[in-house]
Structure 1
Amino acid sequence: MTFHPLDANGRPLDEIALEGMQVCCIVGVYRAERHTPQPLRLDVSLYLDTRDAANRGGLKATVDYARLSGELRFLLENASFRLLEAAADALCRYILAPPTPDLHRAQVQAVTLRLAKPEALSGGTVAALAVHRRADEYRYAVEEKSFGRVDVIYEDGGAGIYRLRLKPGGAIATHEHREMEESELVLGSGLWLQGAPVAAGTGFRWPKGFPHRYDNPSAHEQTVLCVDRPAFLPHDEIEVPLPEGGLTRPEGVTYYPPGASEGAHG
């Protein structure tokens, strides 16, 4: 199937491709697949107008593919999708969502995404799915919160993907979860986690009952990408007092390669 999306003036959009990304993750419906990570191959084509980037330079007019690849890897490693179809839809919804200011990238107008499970079948057969989506196909719920707002990127019975957008001076109070499994990736470069600065591109998995909080002391909105399994349960956002010994952090995982930071040029 040929996919050649056009801009509002009828001109073909430019294509940025991420090819051959390999992620080891939980994806599938069978018992063995639900407990054992397997390799997944991801190929993505992003469609947008890159003329401004070519003429002016800088990533705000295009896409920082180093950062985006880390964000997609984080989602695949933490959402534990049951179906390739669900994984593809969730990733497309994330890619095509209007970018937050701290992402410093242009709006992607359309996407082609292919997922393949090279070891799911015997005899050398590869199970794969390819989808084509446009930004105008999607709508995103927005929830106003005391700390700012939440963008609901994707939800199904098994997982939810959210952008937590902390306004300047905003804070997500110390809280814990007792039912949900939660993973978070820091997107903004001005956030504090557990009372100390945290680098953009750092991901965390929060054990159940582990108190955590975010603060935004900066003058700009800062974003956290959040995966909850199952999808967010309001009654499981339990505010708790500070522990006697203070807040600690689990070991973080770096999802952005060196140099993939605010103001970098590709």
Structure 2
Amino acid sequence: MTHPRQDDYLALEVEDLQVDVLTGIYSEETHLPQPLRISVRALLDIEDHYAPDTPLGRSKNYMDLKHAATGALGEQHFTLIEAVADHIIGTVFLQDDKVRHVEVKIVKLALSEQGEKIGITMARWRK
């Protein structure tokens, strides 16, 4: 079996999920969630070749990424959106050992006045 080149990769992506999350001082005062736009990108171990009949288990279900950015957040209050990103990254790593790197982008929609995107991007390699 040959091994893929070091710069070969498989990325699963879920972009622009709108999620209401209890975050920041506003949520702390009002107990109301704030709308966030969340994108998740996971780099996975790549196979040497993907035949037409390669089973799903050789990749990852992108719905797992969606769940990590929506259902896995629950009713927990996060003071910082950095903590939201860190929680999502941790969830994706726990879901699947094939995931080597996770990147999460979060845009705080409530801060936008003229369509600008204000937020963060956090990325971590599996340790």
Query: What TM-score, normalized to structure 1?
Result: 0.41
Supply the AA of the counterpart residue of 1:61: R
Task: Specify whether residues 11 and 122 from structure 1 end up closer, same or farther in structure 2 by C-alpha distance, changes over 3 A only.
Answer: closer
Q: Is the 8 A contact 1:24 1:77 kept in 2?
A: no
Match of residue 54 from structure 1? 50
Match of residue 86 from structure 1? 83
Question: Aligned match of 1:33 in 17, 27, 35?
Answer: 27
Higher share in helix: 2
Identity of aligned residues (%): 24
Question: Aligned match of 1:127 in 102, 118, 126?
Answer: 118
Q: Is the 8 A contact 2:78 2:84 kept in 1?
A: yes
CA distance in 2, matches of 1:98, 1:75: 11
Q: Is the 8 A contact 1:52 1:61 kept in 2?
A: no
Deviation at 1:71, TM superposition (A): 3.6
Deviation at 1:98, TM superposition (A): 6.1
Supply the AA of the counterpart residue of 2:81: L
Q: Is the 8 A contact 1:96 1:134 kept in 2?
A: no
Q: Is the 8 A contact 2:14 2:65 kept in 1?
A: no
Deviations 1:7-34 (A, max 9, x none): 9852332211111111112111x1x322
Q: Is the 8 A contact 1:41 1:116 kept in 2?
A: yes
Q: For 2:66, what is the secondary structure of its paired residue? A: helix
- Segment drifting more, 17-26 vs 77-86: 77-86
Q: For 1:80, what is the secondary structure of its paired residue? A: coil
Pick 1 or 2: higher relative contact order, CA cutoff 8 A, min separation 6. 2
Deviations 1:155-193 (A, max 9, x none): xxxxxxxxxxxxxxxxxxxxxxxxxxxxxxxxxxxxxxx
Runs of 4+ in 1 over 4 A off after TM superposition: 121-125
CA distance in 1, matches of 2:48, 2:56: 10
Q: Give runs of aligned pairs for residues 4-43 of structure 1, distance below 5 A.
A: 10-28=6-24, 30=25, 32-34=26-28, 35-43=31-39
Q: For 1:47, what is the secondary structure of its paired residue? A: strand
Q: Which runs of 5+ in 2 are unaligned?
A: none
CA distance in 1, matches of 2:43, 2:66: 15
Aligned residues: 122
Deviations 1:88-122 (A, max 9, x none): 111111212363xxxxxx62111111011111354
Asked if residue 110 in structure 1 is aligned to residue 101 in structure 2, the reply is: yes
Higher share in strand: 1
Supply the AA of the counterpart residue of 1:47: L
CA distance in 2, matches of 1:79, 1:20: 21
Flag the structure with larger Rg.
1
